[in-house]
Amino acid sequence: MKRHALCLALCLLPAPLSRLAVADPPDSRAAHATALGVDQAAAAASIRGLENQTAADTSQLANLQAAQAQSQARLLQAETDLAHLLPLMQRLSTAPASTLLAAPLPPGGAVQGMALLRGVAQAIADQARTVQTETAQLTQLIAAANTSQTKLVQAASKQAVAEAEVAQQIADARSAEMAAADTDAADITARLKASNKLDTLNDAVTNLVAPAPTPANLTVGAGGAPVAGSLVMAYGTPTLAGPATGISYGAAPGALVTSPCAGTVMFAAPFPSYGLMVIADCGHGDSVILAGMHRLDVAQGEHLAHGQPIGAMQSFNPADPTHQPRLYVELRQNGTPVDPTSWLNGHSG
């Protein structure tokens, strides 16, 4: 009876988890977790196109809104200039003699008076045409911005549906992946955190990632942009703290963040001044830091496949449709920051 009940309970579990719970040896659990990571990487790659579209639509809307603001400013200036000219024109039309006499003209300056009258009329006509042109341009920009915003909302909706499926896939695989996690890596992180040895980013990388006697060049074809979006800060850009030691992406809202290397998660938690941050040991003394996420999907000790999702950026907000959350990326070799641009573009380090 007991055997029957145990069999029934195991049969009710999802197949992968029931195997892990009873029969799978550690090597088999690790292989299964690796396969799940590869599946997640493929799923994330399959929706990168949707995320890229959302990023492009966000940028387009931001550009249209900026052009719209500039057009509104020009229209306001043109209307102000026209308003200054109209009282003079009205006075000239109702009382030309007294108006011309009040002007600083020599006696008998009727010719000059007529020239002044024609000049004011021409200025008003020119300014009126400017107002008309700016009004038409503004109307077109408003229509284009409304169309762009509708397109962005639709793109964000498609992206959200696809990412929800991947998020569910990650959640379903989480227990299996954590069962095969490197417990030593998780223990090291916990001890360092308890002893306040993770106070700075340098401390974290130095203490968590083992150096290599002779660091190897990063593998050609590794890397890849970890998020959909565009580069907004290059390596070495001047900042208040000195030249930037990493790069930043203006990311698509809600985009998945993927690991640019296969490796082990050494840190996955909030970090002062960086927000939610992941440090991954890529091997050979190389490590990658990704920070600024809204959600983390990995934990300390978890093994990563190249391209596996590790978290997600802040979601799309219809009330602030042009907001692009920023992802900070730093690559280190034996603890020293290096420019990750070439590596992320698929070249060797």
- The predicted-structure confidence for 289-301, as pLDDT tens digits, reads as follows 999 999 999 999 9
- Condensed to tens digits (0 to 9), the pLDDT of residues 320-330 reads 999 999 999 99
User: What mean pLDDT comes out for the span 167-184?
Assistant: 91
Question: Which residues are paired to 271 by β-bridges?
Answer: 275
Task: Report DSSP letters for 291-328, one per residue.
Answer: EEESEE---TT-EE-TT-EEEEPPPP-TTSTT---EEE
CB 264 within 8 A of CB 304: yes
- Tallying the residues shown for the chain, one arrives at 349
User: What's the mean pLDDT when you consider all of the chain?
Assistant: 83
Around Cβ 38, how many Cβ atoms within 10 Å? 15
Helix axes 110-179, 26-46, angle to 10 degrees: 160
Name all domains of the chain by residue range, CATH numbers in brackets: 2-59+158-344 (2.70.70.10)
User: In this predicted structure, what is the pLDDT of residue 98?
Assistant: 57
DSSP type of residue 348: -
DSSP type of residue 192: H
User: In this predicted structure, what is the pLDDT of residue 228?
Assistant: 96
193 contact partners, CB below 8 Å, separation of at least 6: none
- Condensed to tens digits (0 to 9), the pLDDT of residues 160-174 reads 999 999 999 999 998
User: In this predicted structure, what is the pLDDT of residue 5?
Assistant: 41
Residue 18 has pLDDT above 80, yes or no: no
Distance between CA atoms of 195 and 259, rounded to whole angstroms?
A: 28
User: In this predicted structure, what is the pLDDT of residue 120?
Assistant: 66
> Which of 188, 149, 116 minimizes the C-alpha distance to 323?
149
User: In this predicted structure, what is the pLDDT of residue 134?
Assistant: 86
Residue 187 has pLDDT above 80, yes or no: yes
Tokens of 152: 């962005």
Percent of the chain with pLDDT over 70: 79
